[in-house]
Amino acid sequence: MRSFFNRGRAGFEGVGAAGGAAASPRRRSFVPIAIEVVALSAPRLAERRRQSSIGPVADLTRNAVDVLPAGMLQEQLAGSRPLRVKLGIDPTTPDIHLGHTVVLEKLREFQQAGHQVVLIVGDFTARVGDPSGRSAQRPMPSPEEIEANAATYQEQAFKLLDRERTEVRFNSEWLRMAPEELLGLLAQTTVARLIERDDFQKRLAAGAPIAALELLYPLLQGYDSVAVEADVELGGTDQKFNLLFGRDIQTAYGQKPQSILTMPILVGTDGSKKMSKSLGNYIGVTEAPEEMFGKAMRVPDEAMPEYFRLVLGAEPPPGAPPNEAKRALARGIVERFHDAASAQAAEEHFNRLFVDHQAPDEVEELDLAPFLGDNGGLVHLPQLMAGAFEISSSEARRLIKQGGAKLDGEPIPSDILDLAPEALNGRVLQVGKRRFRRLVRAD
């Protein structure tokens, strides 16, 4: 897996002696981007010199919630050197969803402004578990899952970031430290400081357990900032404690502390809870265009402005009815992660299913042979539906009774549950609005 990340990785030399200053990791040389040369008047040239030589602050703080400490980022941007801007992602699930892209998009903006972005894949911290926003200890993925997820995270992140100008690092490079180094890191804080975070205070008040391992997480994330010599760290608002804590760790190791910038948390397609794969309210960046479009059409009207602003960097079409605005949102999301042709095809697919109530052009086939019963070779429809859509037979019977199961677009009569295979061959079985199988008799 590491071979995937070799491009852009800086070398690293022994960071962090116990209780002392960290040795500086070698920095990757910065490759300047091409800049269009234009003639400036003397007043404009003077003004340009007073501003950052990298990019204007207003663009880089757009949509941000916290930019701390006050005024520090402006001072950093006014300097002449590119900043090292850090974002860490723990590969705890296989996919990046739109919620992740809110911060990744901000990282991309820093990259486009000419700064050096550092994407840290938390292959070590994923084994600890970030307690941010958690009411209980996070389930720990296996080493094999982390390895596989880390490989896919890279390719998905590069849907937004420039591969050639992204420094990708694994924090196992420096967090697999000697016991003396770990003791030195632990000596930099107190338990009282670690349990200040709201998540832990809520658990203490509720009498819920806090694992000792969870207390280590902000220390380890903070040491990431030491290892890569971060000038700026980005994260969601739920990461504010960890990001500020990183400043303490940098100071303890003799580094100038980073500034931090937090971004809003994107709600899921349910419009209420944080987007999460475990809640099923997510839109993955690698999902098929038609799936992406369909999920976007489920976003509640009141959440649309937030999606436009945080995902597309735009505003809803002025004066457009909610349904048209939502279609514009869905097209924009598909085009952002696929292309315009895919967005058009996805909308046409959506119209066939939900406007014209037709089956999609391509439907997965299901062989009837395994479902032929002993009752004269008839097919028992609840059993067929259970096998086709991975539901229980009782759930299948309930769907038939409620009119939620169809053959060629017509509800299945609840009093006829056994049919000859000849009566089913070539027909389209449908459950709900989005699940189809074309029935075939292979023999």
User: Cα–Cα distance between 236 and 194 in angstroms, integer?
Assistant: 19
Q: Which of 65-74, 185-194, 425-434 has the highest average model confidence (pLDDT)?
A: 65-74
| pLDDT of the residue at 35 | 28
CA 173 to the chain's CA centroid: 23
Mean predicted lDDT score pLDDT of the chain: 81
Which fold is adopted by the domain 2-263?
Answer: Rossmann fold (3.40.50)
Residues 6+ apart with CB under 8 A from 90: 122, 125, 126, 130
Q: Does domain 365-440 have CATH number 3.40.50.2000?
A: no
For the chain, give the percent of residues with pLDDT over 90: 42
pTM: 0.68
Cα–Cα distance list, 92 to 225, 270, 278, 407 (Å): 20, 22, 11, 40
Please determine, for residue 51, whether its predicted confidence score (pLDDT) is greater than 60: no
Q: How far apart are the first and last CA of the chain?
A: 44
- Mean pLDDT in residue range 79-96: 91
Residues 136-167, buried b or exposed e (16+ Cβ, 10 A)? eebeebeeeebeebbbbbbebbeebbeeebbb
| pLDDT digits 0-9 by tens, 127-152 | 887 656 554 555 677 888 888 888 88
| Confidence band of 4 (pLDDT split at 50, 70, 90) | very low
Neighbours of 66 (CB within 10 A): 16
Task: List the alpha helices (DSSP H) in 113-238.
Answer: 143-157, 172-175, 179-186, 191-194, 198-206, 212-228
What φ, ψ does residue 407 adopt, rounded to 5°? -120, 120
| Confidence band of 22 (pLDDT split at 50, 70, 90) | very low
| pLDDT of the residue at 107 | 96
Q: Give the domain ranges of the chain.
A: 2-263, 289-354, 365-440
Strands 428-431 and 405-407: antiparallel
Higher pLDDT, 334 or 433: 334
- Mean pLDDT in residue range 416-437: 82
Stated length of the chain: 443
| pLDDT digits 0-9 by tens, 344-403 | 999 998 888 767 666 666 778 888 888 887 766 888 999 898 988 888 888 888 888 888
Least confident of 30-44, 124-138, 274-288, 394-408: 30-44
